[in-house]
Amino acid sequence: MTEQHLRTLEREATAYHEAGHAVMALSLSRPVHRVSIVARQNWLGLCEFRKGVQRPSDDWLETELLIALAGMVAEAIHTGRPDELGAARDLRHARKLMLARTTERSLPRYEQRMVNKTDCHLRDDATWRAVEAIAQALLDSATLSGRAAMHLYTAAQRG
User: What are the catalytic residues?
Assistant: 18
Counted residue by residue, the chain has a size of 159
Q: Are strands 46-49 and 32-36 parallel, antiparallel or unpaired?
A: antiparallel
Looking at the chain, the number of H-run helices and the number of E-run strands are 6, 3
Q: SS3 string of 64-129?
A: HHHHHHHHHHHHHHHHCCCCCCCCHHHHHHHHHHHCCCCCCCCHHHHHHHHHHHHHHHHCCHHHHH
How far the first Cα of the chain sits from its last, in Å, is: 36
